[in-house]
Structure 1
Amino acid sequence: MAQLSFLGAIQQVTGSSYLLQTQSGGSILVDCGMRQGRRDDERGNGAPFPFDPTTLHAVVLSHAHLDHSGLLPRLAAEGFRGPVHCTEATAELLELMLLDSANIQEKDAEWENKWRQRIGKPSVKPLYTREETERMLELREPHGYESAFEAAPGVEVTFLDAGHILGSAIVQLDITENGATRRLVFSGDLGNAETPLMNPPAVLSRADVLLMESTYGDRDHRNSEETLEELAQILDQANHDGGNVLMPSFSIGRTQDLIYHLGALYQQGRLPQQVVFLDSPMAIRANDIYRRFLHQLDLPELAGLGSQAQSRVEQWLPILQATPSPEESMAINRIKRGAIIIAGSGMCTGGRIVHHFKHNLWRKECHLVIAGFQAQGTLGRAIVDGASHVKLLHQRIAVKAQVHTLGGFSAHAGQSQLLTWADGFKDRPALYLVHGEHDKMLALQQALQQRLAWSAQIPEPGQRITL
């Protein structure tokens, strides 16, 4: 019988990874994610894989976010040579994400080694290099939604739209052994049905084993209209206070949603700021990919704004200004009021948003809008939890800006949406909760039992089950 090992995103949100091994010797890794957040978790990114990468037939990737894809270059560097199966849009976004990640790994190692050299410590190597990443990217094998393919002997895989970000997929694996077929479904990251750009997650009805994410397993998101109204009020208050608005954002998914929402307010004449800066080279390039895949998005409001994708976006939010170069980014810091600044990283662990914090976070007239999940151990989580001071860029900065959290803009399904999606499985497969902090999993486990009379299990790291 086939066996499934729970390797990552177990009782935590990041590091998604699951190993499927069949009776005939097939071996498939579902996701190969990077751990993010706590320093100890991130150190685990360099630990040996709990399997031999050379024995894998394939990797099946749910989507491009680093917590699902970020260790692929390491996997290839250690001998994996099989295909990396993903959707067509994910294949393009993956190049963007991983080359940027490789650049960060190399720069981090360079800075670390300068410090180590001064105190006589041995040098360190980057987690992976750009060259290793480029070799890994040659292994990509894109597929369309709902188009079955064989990932290993006896294992047929189908991607279905997860509605999370462009290209995100629910992964369905049909495993045939001894004349019988069993179905394993991995939800991937399920989208919030109220997200403006994405289609609702595909509804499935049959599985034998189901792995379901639980990022927001403890609560529902606010209604999107209420959240948009709250954002409008924040922007009005920021305009009255005479400061800037900072929006840390993930380059893929969240940034595009924020641009849409700000455009909606602009179209209604309710955006008082003079300029919206998109200060993220990765997000700027991601926007280009989104434009090429507009046919996969749900955009009725933009349909009548011109025939070309570029013109539709420019007409939707004309005050959007992209700042790809470092010089353009630094120039933003001369602006003291009337600007909305969207920059990475989404959890405030690095990137250009940290530099904008240095110039704005200590100013009480400024506003900080947190519109995405902040993992434990991140700078963003510390601010959300009420830190009065934070350390960034080797300085201690006071947090005096007004901090707002807007859960309604989440790209993840909330508790009720997770329950509704799961209820589509009429045969009640064996259910395992993954990709969530332990308290969120417990809350979802209880809700599943109370509302659907369905007992879900919370696996332990490294646990192996027989399908």
Structure 2
Amino acid sequence: MTMTLTFLGAAGEVTGSCHLLTVGEHQILLDCGLIQGSRQAEARNREPFPFDPGTIDAVILSHAHIDHSGRLPLLVKQGFQGPVFTHNATAELCDIMLRDAAMLQRRDAERLNKKLEARGEPLVDPLFTEADVDALMALMVPLEYGQGREALPGVRFELADAGHILGSAIVQLWLGEAEGQRKLVYSGDLGRKGMPVIQDPAYIDRADLVVMESTYGDRLHRSLPDTLEELKGIFARAIETARGNILIPAFSVGRAQELLYLLHLHAKEWDLGRWRVYLDSPMATEATRVYVRHFRLCDDEFKAFTRQHPGRHPLLSNIEFVQTTEASMELNEVDRGMIVIAGSGMCNGGRIRCHMEHNLWRDEADVIICGYQARGTPGRALVDGAQSLNIGGKPVEVRARVHTVGGLSAHADRDEMTEWYRHFADAPPVILVHGEPEAQQSFAEHLGQYSRHLVVAQRFDCLDLTALPELVWLNSGLCGESFID
């Protein structure tokens, strides 16, 4: 039986996760995410899929983040009609996130079409619409962790907790039958041990091949206790000075809920009674309700704290939820004493842009960057020390204090990923995906101490899974760089 794996996205980059698995006559996608970053990078989302969407038999989705799920409505729009297997919490979060993405696609198309019409050029359609999201949601097959399932003949799989966000999954796949069977483990995005709210990532003991993320393969995160001290210091310094506003761009799913919990847990210690704290994101508010409903998926400490304080849910108290655009705009009249958590997490859209326009130029303001910032995004520019940002078509000087708090990352760092891999028996071959080239090369050199075969995937690489444990590439000359052989 023919079994191949082709890397079509998040290969040599972080976003746009998409991998094509062929088993006999069947084709399965592992994720189908949006490419994010610069305008040039995002324009690639309009390029044709390198396969006929109508020939894909099924999708297995690792988690709800847009760089893993965001092109699924487009896949359906272009002919896909098969099942989308995923965790039930991921299905609920996708319903929220993809509808928001469809709204943004519609608005972007409307703005662009005004310019195209004025120039007499052809108009464009949104990448996908709310109706495409409706069609996708009808194909979702929600599952639990540990629930074995046959996706197609010769393809059995099971989800394990990846510890990244609510519902995030490590995908274990058993391909083929009897002696020719191969086990593939796809890490999705790996979380970290000991972080608040979410369970630790599960360890897997056996695989014939591990397809593994490498986002932070070139660094170590600050410990959680040190990170909490860092946040405490930021708030204390802001109080000691003019107590201007504090802006926290945050991903609406995962990071926002973690921040709500920490602000609740440490409110007294951090003297947060001096501040008014706002969650200015309707999507994050809806996602928070999903976290509350799926309480049983959270870690033991979070569940115990919640049981000990009935009526004061740690994600719903001490926070003012901002829903309407009008209410969000009113916050811009406040010049001090306010903490605003808002999307988008990379500052390339959403309400955080408006808050930055009104606060970045203030010496007394602070910006806390606490998540991954893709190349080409305004958030990455801030991390890299930009002196100004273009917001609403005009430059805004950066005079606020910018703090990069890497210890809140939901991605495992170099040593955490290494520890996860070393729980596999017999050091199976590894293919690295979902990382920028420098991080991947650094991680490959480090992990090569423990792996027999390790390759950094490049886009369109195609691997013969029947040859495992040998790594045999079917498109010679295109395959990724091998560090161990």
Q: Note whether the superposition's TM-score is higher than 0.5.
A: yes
Residue 412 of structure 1 corresponds to 411
- The answer as to whether partners of 1:15 and 1:35 remain within 8 angstroms in 2 is yes
Residue 298 of structure 1 corresponds to 299
Give the letter aligned to residue 459 of structure 1. Answer: A
Alignment of 1:351-366 (within 5 A): 351-366=350-365
The C-alpha deviation readout for 1:29-81, integer Å capped at 9, x for no partner, is: 00000000022221111111111111111000000000000000010011100
The C-alpha deviation readout for 1:176-209, integer Å capped at 9, x for no partner, is: 1475210011000000213211111110111111
The C-alpha deviation readout for 1:381-423, integer Å capped at 9, x for no partner, is: 0111011011011111000000000000000001000000000
Whole-Å separation in 1 of the counterparts to 2:213 and 2:115: 40
- The answer as to whether partners of 1:302 and 1:312 remain within 8 angstroms in 2 is no
The question of 1:18 aligning with 2:1 is answered no
SS in 2 for 1:183: strand
SS in 2 for 1:170: strand
Q: Note the C-alpha offset of 1:20.
A: 0.5
The C-alpha deviation readout for 1:290-321, integer Å capped at 9, x for no partner, is: 0000100015256355589763226xx74310
Q: Note the C-alpha offset of 1:228.
A: 0.7
Residue 83 of structure 1 corresponds to 83
Whole-Å separation in 2 of the counterparts to 1:369 and 1:250: 13
Give the letter aligned to residue 297 of structure 2. Answer: Q
Whole-Å separation in 2 of the counterparts to 1:28 and 1:107: 32
SS in 2 for 1:377: coil
Residue 107 of structure 1 corresponds to 107
Q: Note the C-alpha offset of 1:270.
A: 3.3
The two structures, once aligned, show a CA RMSD in angstroms of: 1.5
Residue 289 of structure 2 corresponds to 288
The number of residue pairs the alignment matches comes to: 463
The C-alpha deviation readout for 1:255-301, integer Å capped at 9, x for no partner, is: 01111111122143632542110000000000000000010001525
Mean CA deviation greater in 302-311 or 26-35: 302-311
- The answer as to whether partners of 2:247 and 2:367 remain within 8 angstroms in 1 is yes
- The answer as to whether partners of 1:448 and 1:455 remain within 8 angstroms in 2 is no
How has the CA–CA distance of structure 1 residues 332 and 302 changed in structure 2, closer, same or farther, with 3 Å as cutoff?
farther
Unaligned ranges ≥5, structure 1: none
Whole-Å separation in 1 of the counterparts to 2:436 and 2:58: 28
- The answer as to whether partners of 2:260 and 2:314 remain within 8 angstroms in 1 is no
Residue 475 of structure 2 corresponds to none
Residue 31 of structure 1 corresponds to 31
Whole-Å separation in 2 of the counterparts to 1:33 and 1:304: 35
Whole-Å separation in 1 of the counterparts to 2:354 and 2:300: 33
Whole-Å separation in 1 of the counterparts to 2:275 and 2:178: 66
Q: Note the C-alpha offset of 1:117.
A: 1.4
SS in 1 for 2:412: coil
Alignment of 1:299-448 (within 5 A): 299-300=300-301, 303-305=304-306, 311-313=312-314, 318-448=317-447
- The answer as to whether partners of 1:448 and 1:454 remain within 8 angstroms in 2 is no
Give the letter aligned to residue 365 of structure 1. Answer: E
Alignment of 1:166-315 (within 5 A): 166-177=166-177, 179-242=179-242, 243-268=244-269, 270-271=271-272, 273-300=274-301, 303-305=304-306, 311-313=312-314
Whole-Å separation in 1 of the counterparts to 2:317 and 2:221: 29
- The answer as to whether partners of 1:388 and 1:398 remain within 8 angstroms in 2 is yes
Mean CA deviation greater in 318-327 or 243-252: 318-327
- The answer as to whether partners of 1:28 and 1:59 remain within 8 angstroms in 2 is yes
Output the TM-score relative to the length of structure 2: 0.93
SS in 1 for 2:375: coil
Q: Note the C-alpha offset of 1:14.
A: 0.2
Give the letter aligned to residue 383 of structure 1. Answer: L
How has the CA–CA distance of structure 1 residues 51 and 453 changed in structure 2, closer, same or farther, with 3 Å as cutoff?
closer
SS in 2 for 1:340: strand
Give the letter aligned to residue 130 of structure 1. Answer: E
How has the CA–CA distance of structure 1 residues 32 and 309 changed in structure 2, closer, same or farther, with 3 Å as cutoff?
farther
SS in 2 for 1:150: strand
Report % sequence identity: 45
- The answer as to whether partners of 2:427 and 2:451 remain within 8 angstroms in 1 is no
How has the CA–CA distance of structure 1 residues 21 and 304 changed in structure 2, closer, same or farther, with 3 Å as cutoff?
closer
Residue 136 of structure 1 corresponds to 136
- The answer as to whether partners of 1:196 and 1:299 remain within 8 angstroms in 2 is no
The C-alpha deviation readout for 1:405-460, integer Å capped at 9, x for no partner, is: 0000000001000000000111221210000001000111011123x254410111
Whole-Å separation in 2 of the counterparts to 1:276 and 1:340: 5
Whole-Å separation in 2 of the counterparts to 1:52 and 1:117: 32
SS in 1 for 2:313: helix
The question of 1:458 aligning with 2:456 is answered yes
Whole-Å separation in 1 of the counterparts to 2:213 and 2:225: 25
- The answer as to whether partners of 1:184 and 1:210 remain within 8 angstroms in 2 is yes
How has the CA–CA distance of structure 1 residues 65 and 301 changed in structure 2, closer, same or farther, with 3 Å as cutoff?
closer
Whole-Å separation in 1 of the counterparts to 2:124 and 2:309: 48
Mean CA deviation greater in 56-65 or 176-185: 176-185
How has the CA–CA distance of structure 1 residues 392 and 434 changed in structure 2, closer, same or farther, with 3 Å as cutoff?
same
Give the letter aligned to residue 245 of structure 1. Answer: I
- The answer as to whether partners of 2:296 and 2:303 remain within 8 angstroms in 1 is no
Give the letter aligned to residue 12 of structure 2. Answer: Q
Whole-Å separation in 2 of the counterparts to 1:123 and 1:114: 9
How has the CA–CA distance of structure 1 residues 168 and 82 changed in structure 2, closer, same or farther, with 3 Å as cutoff?
same
Whole-Å separation in 2 of the counterparts to 1:210 and 1:291: 33
Output the TM-score relative to the length of structure 1: 0.96
- The answer as to whether partners of 1:212 and 1:433 remain within 8 angstroms in 2 is yes
Unaligned ranges ≥5, structure 2: 466-485
SS in 2 for 1:85: strand
Residue 41 of structure 1 corresponds to 41
The C-alpha deviation readout for 1:79-108, integer Å capped at 9, x for no partner, is: 100000000100100100100000000110
Task: Find runs of 4+ consecutive structure 1 residues off by over 6 angstroms.
Answer: 307-310
